[in-house]
Structure 1
Amino acid sequence: MDDVELARARITETLHRMLAGELSFIEGSRIVNGWSHNVGFDRLSEPFVTFVAIDSETDDVPTGRAREQWSEKAVSRKNDDWDRSEAWARECGEQACRDALALLGQPDS
């Protein structure tokens, strides 16, 4: 599998996981951004610019391992803000996921 095929596969998997509720839209947007340059898409064109915007607007929201490093007390203080950020990211990102899958020639299921 070459770099382009690998990037397409990772992006496709990420988009499906986001739509299925298996991956947060904030974390998924960061993953998509990380791979999108490998497939030759302009990150500043739709639908990929939506993932750039989500990442930019939520860059203060830790995800994955970074979030695991926070104390329980700190997480409890910020959780409501993070939940609002994730809800906003989902609202902005759902259609972008579908559009990106269509651009990649993948079914939206």
Structure 2
Amino acid sequence: MSQHLFDEEYVNLVRRQIASVAKAMLANEISFLLGARKISLLRHTISMENDDVDLLTLITIDAETEHLPLEKPDKYSKNRNQADIEAEIEASEIWARIFGESACESLARRFSYI
């Protein structure tokens, strides 16, 4: 019984972290690309149904942009022009916001007060 309570508490903690990242994305405190990456990692630390549309939306953003060097773009510029990398990141950020904004709103609402 105590293990179940610990697991439930942990799941709720991670859900609150997901809500916090989603709120930061909506407030432009972190990029949608980086936020989606963080939420995708957090999602894998807890066992949740694989049919959560909001989480799947952000996992899709992460999967579609995982090749982009979000932390240190200059580190990867050996084979590509830095301006091209930055342009791709910027275009992907616009797409991610359009595609993921409603999912972030939903996650922030659903997981904030757990």
- TM-score range, shorter-chain basis? 0.7 to 0.9
The 8 Å contact of residues 36 and 62 in structure 2, kept in 1 or not, is answered as yes
| Residue matched to 2:3 | none
Relative contact order (C-alpha < 8 Å, sep 6+): which is higher?
A: 2
Q: In the comparison of the two structures, how many residue pairs are matched?
A: 105
Give the structure-1-normalised TM-score.
Answer: 0.79
| Residue matched to 1:41 | 48
- What amino acid maps onto 1:25 in structure 2? F
Gaps of 5+ in 1: none
Partner of 1:81, secondary structure, is helix
The 8 Å contact of residues 32 and 51 in structure 1, kept in 2 or not, is answered as yes
* TM-superposition CA deviations, 1:38-77 (whole Å, max 9, x none): 444324421111011101111111112x435245x83223
The 8 Å contact of residues 18 and 111 in structure 2, kept in 1 or not, is answered as no
Q: Which consecutive aligned stretches of 4+ in structure 1 deviate over 2 angstroms post-superposition?
A: 1-6, 37-45, 66-71
| Residue matched to 2:82 | 75
The 8 Å contact of residues 19 and 109 in structure 2, kept in 1 or not, is answered as no
% identical equivalent positions: 28
| Residue matched to 1:16 | 23
Give runs of aligned pairs for residues 1-109 of structure 1, distance below 5 A: 3-64=10-71, 66-67=72-73, 69-71=75-77, 74-106=81-113
Give the structure-2-normalised TM-score.
Answer: 0.76
Q: Could you say which structure has the larger radius of gyration?
A: 2
Q: 1:47 to 1:24 in 2, by over 3 A?
A: same
